[in-house]
Amino acid sequence: MTDRESKIAVVTGAGSGIGRAVAVELLRAGWSVALAGRRTETLEETAGLVPRGAGLTVRTDVSRPEDVDALFAATVDRFGRVDLLFNNAGTFGPGGIPVEELSYDAWRHVVDTNLNGAFLCAQAAYRRMKEQDPQGGRIINNGSISAHTPRPLSVAYTATKHALTGLTKSLSLDGRPYNIAVGQIDIGNAATDMTARMQAGALQANGRVAPEPVMDVADVARTVRHMAELPLGANVQFATVLATAMPYIGRG
């Protein structure tokens, strides 16, 4: 932590899954956290998991510039600054659809959420971090194992996650003069509602369906907290956290 008593974080997609776990981990560690997501009720459930935590819930559709602007304005109005953005909101989109059958609307929805939303939030955070005193802050983008290796029939999700890696690198480079550190965490099969189906069976590259192991989402949250609490002179550029036995390294 810095010499201030509490650091300020914005966590998108905070109403469930990885976003919820990270928000709770930060709140329990004494951070003040703006929780952003599409559903107010789930955001309030997240905040309620740490009754004495300093949480602010802001309903946000990250694909809408006006929502993102309102999120960061509310955060600064309440807490005074932004020290961390965990750029986590995302969607897998419709699964199991061949590329030739994927509708443009479905493609656009995934791109708007995963890539455009991440850009809009990073841009808003960057502006605050550049202007505030003391200057600087940290952005952590939630990539995915799919930022490196695709699953079958996941063209929209995979394309956005590969693009997110480019966004991370570019932001990291451009943030150097302003003490803005940018990194990425790539996660494989954290146990959330989104990955529940993988334990029953997920399509593999060889065409077979096989169950995949998952890991405790709390292990991801602790990793994000470690990245977040480094001094700004140090940065985890890329971290990969995955269930040890999942089919990723080698041939499975």
Residues recognised as catalytic: 157
Q: How far apart are CA 110 and CA 126, in angstroms?
A: 23
DSSP at 25:
H
Q: Is there a contact between 53 and 28 (Cβ–Cβ < 8 Å)?
A: yes
Sheet holding 238-242, edge to edge: 54-59, 32-37, 8-12, 84-87, 137-142, 180-188, 238-242
Cβ density class 34-63: b for 16+ within 10 Å, e for less: bbbbbeeebbeebbeebeebbbbbbbbbbb
Instruction: Give the β-pairing of 238-242 and 84-87.
Output: unpaired
Structure tokens at 188: 């494989």
Backbone phi and psi for residue 78, each to the nearest 5 degrees, phi listed first: -80, -45
What does each C-alpha distance from 50 to 12, 126, 161, 240 come to in angstroms?
Answer: 17, 28, 31, 27
Which candidate, 123, 22, 10, 138, places its Cα nearest to that of 74?
10
